Amino acid sequence: MELKNARVLLTGGSSGIGKATAKLLTDKRAKVLITGRDEAKLKSVALELGCDFIAADSGVETEIEKIFEKVDSLWGGLDVLINNAGIGSFQPIEDLTFDAFDEIFKVNVYGAAVTAKHAVIRFKNQNKGHIINIASSAGLKGFSNGSVYSASKFALRSMTQCWQGELRKHNIRVMLVNPSEVTTAFASSERVEREDVSNKLTGFEIGHSIVAALEMDDRGFIPELSVWATNPF
């Protein structure tokens, strides 16, 4: 697809992978709307990058509806959804609770699904569109203390495959990106960005992969893409 003037909704866009991807997209002259829960941080990033923003919680259905009211008022349509908003918690099996699953699944699974629903309504009206879901290497293989988070990313991977089967006939490309460990503020209670480490991934490697997948001609798509650090050891 041509990214110049493409209308892109990017959830979780105030830091890390989201911010890096928003920068790469605005550099391509796409029109970008970023979301997140911290309005002050979003506003700062939007001013820095030259994009639009709306403060909204991707784990609350009424907040997602508010996002699409903004989409419609800005552009009257949408070309790309990047489901990047995500949270994590990590605990041993003895500490698992219903609440722990609810908290993570509301954003990583339910929120991603409902956001995609609203995007697809608009995509079907124009008979084209693009969805990129940001999952994780944790959606490929579980790990110690990862029951909740890993399960959420396995679920997102499964939903991606379901949507691929359902939406290809409408010229809607649905793609999954699985980052390995990235030095961001993810899972930091203070939401402070971690310092870059020379042999670990940054948000820009993931953003580059997202942009490259989108820029492929619309006649083809990459169903799933995993990004690993070459030598993180």
- 44-91 pLDDT, tens digit per residue, is 999 999 999 999 999 999 999 999 999 999 999 999 999 999 999 999
pLDDT of residue 194: 66
pLDDT of residue 31: 98
User: Does the pLDDT value for residue 181 go beyond 70?
Assistant: yes
CATH number at 222 reads: 3.40.50.720
2 inside domain: no
117 inside domain: yes
Tell me what the mean pLDDT of segment 6-24 comes to: 98
82 inside domain: yes
**What would the DSSP string read from start to end of 60-101?**
SHHHHHHHHHHHHHHHSS-SEEEE---------GGG--HHHH
Are 167 and 128 contacting, i.e. CB atoms less than 8 angstroms apart?
no
233 inside domain: no
Residue 110 annotated among the catalytic residues of the structure: no
Of the candidates 200, 153, 198, 155, the residue with the CA atom closest to the CA atom of residue 178: 153
pLDDT of residue 208: 98
pLDDT of residue 183: 87
Residues 6 or more apart in contact with residue 140 via CB below 8 angstroms: 157, 178, 226
Per-residue confidence band for 195, with pLDDT thresholds at 50, 70 and 90: confident
pTM: 0.95
Tens digit of pLDDT for each residue in 126-156?
A: 999 999 999 999 999 999 999 999 999 999 9
202 inside domain: yes
179 inside domain: yes
pLDDT of residue 185: 60
Tell me what the mean pLDDT of segment 28-51 comes to: 98
pLDDT of residue 50: 98
Domain range for 102 is 7-227
- CA-to-CA distance for 30 and 12, rounded, in angstroms? 17
H/E stretch holding 218: none
pLDDT of residue 8: 99
pLDDT of residue 189: 59
85 inside domain: yes
Tell me what the mean pLDDT of segment 14-36 comes to: 98
Are 25 and 211 contacting, i.e. CB atoms less than 8 angstroms apart?
yes
Tell me what the mean pLDDT of segment 210-224 comes to: 98
Are 176 and 224 contacting, i.e. CB atoms less than 8 angstroms apart?
yes
Tens digit of pLDDT for each residue in 87-109?
A: 999 999 999 999 999 999 999 99
Q: How many domains does the chain have?
A: 1
User: Does the pLDDT value for residue 196 go beyond 90?
Assistant: no
pLDDT of residue 202: 96
Of the candidates 198, 52, 213, the residue with the CA atom closest to the CA atom of residue 133: 213
User: Does the pLDDT value for residue 21 go beyond 80?
Assistant: yes
181 inside domain: yes
Tell me what the mean pLDDT of segment 31-55 comes to: 98
Among 105, 149, 154, 163, the one annotated catalytic: 149
